[in-house]
Amino acid sequence: MLGATTAASNATEIVLHKMSGLGNEIVVADLRGAKHALGEDEVRQIAGEPRWHFDQLMALHDPRSQGTEAFVRIYNADGSEAGACGNGMRCVGLHVATQDGRLAQRFETAASGVLTVDVESAERITVDMGRPRFGWEDIPLAEPFHDTRRIELQIGPIDAPVLHSPSAVNMGNPHAIFWVEDVDAYDLARLGSLLEHHPIFPDRANISLAHVQSRIAIRLRTWERGAGLTRACGSAACAAAVAAARLNLTERRATVTVPGGPLEIDWGRDDHVRMTGPAEFEYRGLFRLGAAPGIGEAG
């Protein structure tokens, strides 16, 4: 929904919905019916307002494919576009269920094609995240790797690396998962920032630390490319669960616990990865694009 553009302020008002997916800060901008598309500068303007700070912004546009609710563009706080955001899609699903009353939904994204979202309740929303990709050129990596279950990458001295041999997978966006005994024992803010921009990841990467607790349980911390440390990253949870199953460390169905709480991940026999977890509303309000900092009232 768009408000008026005034000649005096040259600012366009849009309605924003602040939401959360297990602590993953999400902003939903429902632009269906509007001609406006957010630019990088506008995304950064929204992210720069403390009340609208987000990990990802989900912009809903008019459907491009028949039978879908919307075409969704996903932005990081730095203005770059993300390929996937599972927590954000749960928030979008709850928003659409509340606005339109539909519980079984289909959305189109540029990176993952058409995704289905099923809203059982605010506590149980399932997103079909599509099929994982494992080929080095699909992740992508800067050089060929025959086996991406563990790639040759390490940080620290060659004889005593701090981190090494991550699994690599594309889950709508590139992920590298390092297997550790204690996910809290590392300065992920420093290491994540370094590894996100490693030359081996030409499109940058989400960097995760994962500890396998049992055949059905994983603990996970994630540094998101373009966003930084996050309390929850749905695509990273899916990537970690898939990577663990490929290494025969877990079953194909597992609970991945991120700092914000647990997510249920099921890598089905149809090769689709389905993620179930909660979403919640925090507040909504108007935001003036192009206005001076501090403009934008939440309610």
Q: Which positions are annotated as active-site residues?
A: 85, 233
* Paired residues of 169 in beta bridges: 175
Cβ partners under 8 Å of residue 41, min gap 6: 79
Structure tokens at 144: 């060929």
Query: CA nearest 191: which of 178, 203, 172, 173?
Result: 178
Q: H-helix or E-strand containing 218?
A: strand 217-224
Measured distance CA(297)–CA(299) in Å, rounded: 7
Q: Residue 41: which H helix or E strand, with range?
A: helix 40-48
Contact 53, 77 (CB under 8 A): yes
